[in-house]
Amino acid sequence: MALPLLLPSEPPGSGSVLAGATAPLSPPQPWAWPVPRLLCQRPRGHVWGQMATWASCQRDEYRGFILLITFLIYTCYHMSRKPISVVKSRLHHNCSEMIQPIGDTHRLNDTTWCNWAPFDQSNYKELLGAVDNAFLVAYAIGMFISGIFGERLPLRYYLTAGMLLSGLFTSLFGLGYFWNIHALWYFVLIQICNGLVQTTGWPSVVTCVGNWFGKGKRGLIMGIWNSHTSVGNILGSLIAGVWVDEQWGLSFVVPGIITAVMGLVTFFFLIEYPEDVDCSPPQHHGELEENGDNAEDPGNGPHSNRGNGRESAVTLSKEPSAQPAAISFFGALWIPGVVEFSLCLLFAKLVSYTFLYWLPLYIFNVVHFTAKESGDLSTLFDVGGIAGGILAGLISDYTNGRATTCCVMLILAAPTMFLYNYVGQSGISISIVMLLTCGALVNGPYALITTAVSADLGTHKSLKGNAKALSTVTAIIDGTGSIGAALGPLLAGLISPTGWNNVFYMLITADILACLLLCRLVYKEILGWRSSLSRDRGSSVALTHAR
């Protein structure tokens, strides 16, 4: 039974959006500026849900807040994944370059005294690859399941539990240093558990953002927002680099603590639905297209009327009892484009995650930088990824061609990776330029598919307004991509003993396959552009004759 709540009388002219859709909204009073509603969650009878009606909705401010908090959430997820790539070069490196401490029990001619068992063996690359693969295989398997749970559980609770557990397992990996653990099974088990709980992140944050944003300018907005992946990688590398040469365990413990703290922030401040704070939901495809309205988001269409859009959005607001049913796994597969983009992401993520996990070690072995210098230089790849994601989103919005944008960037990425391997290490300036370019071209398509494309397909017009498919579609696309993310570092660990050139040939092959999988969708987009140009020309001719 809902607790009775005595509400204070509202100031004059401060009516809620839902209370009077046709009346103009008054300027927000100081007390009405949006503040995160603690524990603002369904059911609507919840005391905090009732308190949300005290102030009128300022949707733009809430949208900005949702972008910020979900940005920080997934930054923490990626920050906790990155340290392993930096610490690899510390777990096994050339001990002859170091001075053996006095009192050390190792033999004088022992070249592995400074390494961390069990990674002090000659097959250390395969063992490090097994640790990577434990995380990535668990992540790929768990991702297909996570989307199903994400549609059926409150996202705030789901994300909070995931972040707390991610922080715990990340810290446990680093505590192996302080507890002097040298058993391979311990590190593999921790990575499996961490991979499973980290699947709570991506479907949840994309669904939350999708709940607040329609299709208008989605590519640019999500391109900027998706920089959290690269920002997390950069922070993870920098934090790990502080302690990698001394106490590498802290390279994991510190990101783990930060992730857990962010989980508590998520619990208190995340707002899952616009309706939870009496805001109108965004308009996607189904509702408007059935009514013949071309605007997919209020105020974003070229012929939209802001007042009518606001009124229409209010009428589409759904109470909890009217929520549509979640889509099935196989039902999501029938959405046009899901299979092609999923398989494309498999190969695109294979390339991206191979760089993520092996680039610092590649720089360490080829250029002979220190572990910290290699980790710091590798962050340039992620800096380029930020620019690539934003550029891909901007171009795809302008051209309305998601598949074509991805395909062009993938085509350019193949020769860029080839050049980086052969000339990228000839000088620090060339290396910086090549790393930035590779990062932009490799991560641009990956970022576009996992954000704007996933949101587009999760709110596809064939779903007739049922946005409940967003979490499942996101999980299918990213889960399939995670299979590639698991294969890439594993193949790199197996191929790298034969030479780094072969690793880059593998990456270039995967890049070409990703491009080929989009050919059908690119062809459809080209036909759509030709049809649009024909209509425009016909309209121009008709207008000329009318004059």
Above 90 in pLDDT, residue 460? no
The reply to whether omega before 324 is within 30° of 0 (cis) is no
- Listed ranges 78-82, 258-262, 310-314, 327-331; the one with the highest mean pLDDT: 258-262
Question: What is the residue-averaged pLDDT of the chain?
Answer: 76
pLDDT band at 118 (very low <50, low <70, confident <90, very high): confident
Q: DSSP secondary structure string, 45-66?
A: TSHHHHHGGGS---HHHHHHHH
pLDDT band at 412 (very low <50, low <70, confident <90, very high): very high
Q: Spelled out in words, what is the top-level CATH class assigned to the domain 59-92+114-277+327-540?
A: mainly alpha
Above 90 in pLDDT, residue 264? yes
Two tokens, residue 232: 């997390």
User: Burial, 511: exposed, middle or buried (Cβ in 10 Å; 0-12, 13-18, 19+)?
Assistant: buried
Query: Quick one: pLDDT at residue 262?
Result: 96
pLDDT band at 214 (very low <50, low <70, confident <90, very high): low
CA 465 to the chain's CA centroid: 24
d(CA 66, CA 270): 7
3-state secondary structure (DSSP) of residue 387: helix
Above 90 in pLDDT, residue 347? yes
pLDDT band at 417 (very low <50, low <70, confident <90, very high): very high
163 within 8 A of 262, measured Cβ to Cβ: yes
3-state secondary structure (DSSP) of residue 186: helix
Above 90 in pLDDT, residue 147? no
Task: Give 469 or 312, the one with higher predicted confidence.
Answer: 469
Task: List, in order, residues 6 or more apart from 423 with CB less than 8 Å away.
Answer: 430, 434
d(CA 278, CA 342): 35
pLDDT band at 331 (very low <50, low <70, confident <90, very high): low
Two tokens, residue 134: 């434990």
Two tokens, residue 41: 């969650």
Lowest mean pLDDT among 23-37, 65-79, 388-402, 478-492: 23-37
Query: Quick one: pLDDT at residue 415?
Result: 93
Query: Quick one: pLDDT at residue 541?
Result: 61
Residues of the chain with pLDDT > 70, as a percent, come to 69
pLDDT band at 12 (very low <50, low <70, confident <90, very high): very low
Above 90 in pLDDT, residue 215? no
Above 90 in pLDDT, residue 268? yes
Task: Give 318 or 176, the one with higher predicted confidence.
Answer: 176
pTM tops 0.75, yes or no: no
d(CA 525, CA 396): 11
299 within 8 A of 214, measured Cβ to Cβ: no
Two tokens, residue 173: 């990996």
CB atoms closer than 10 angstroms to residue 277: 24
Above 60 in pLDDT, residue 429? yes
Two tokens, residue 120: 């002090």
Above 80 in pLDDT, residue 459? no
d(CA 444, CA 441): 5
Above 70 in pLDDT, residue 336? yes
d(CA 134, CA 188): 6
Above 60 in pLDDT, residue 94? yes
Dihedral sign, Cα of residue 518, residue 519, residue 522, residue 527: negative
Q: Count of alpha carbons within 13 Å of 297, Cβ hemisphere only?
A: 15
392 within 8 A of 219, measured Cβ to Cβ: yes
Q: DSSP secondary structure string, 108-144?
A: TT-TTTTS-TTTTSTTHHHHHHHHHHHHHHHHHHHHH
492 within 8 A of 353, measured Cβ to Cβ: no
Q: For residue range 98-115, what is the model confidence (pLDDT) as tens digits? A: 555 555 555 555 556 577
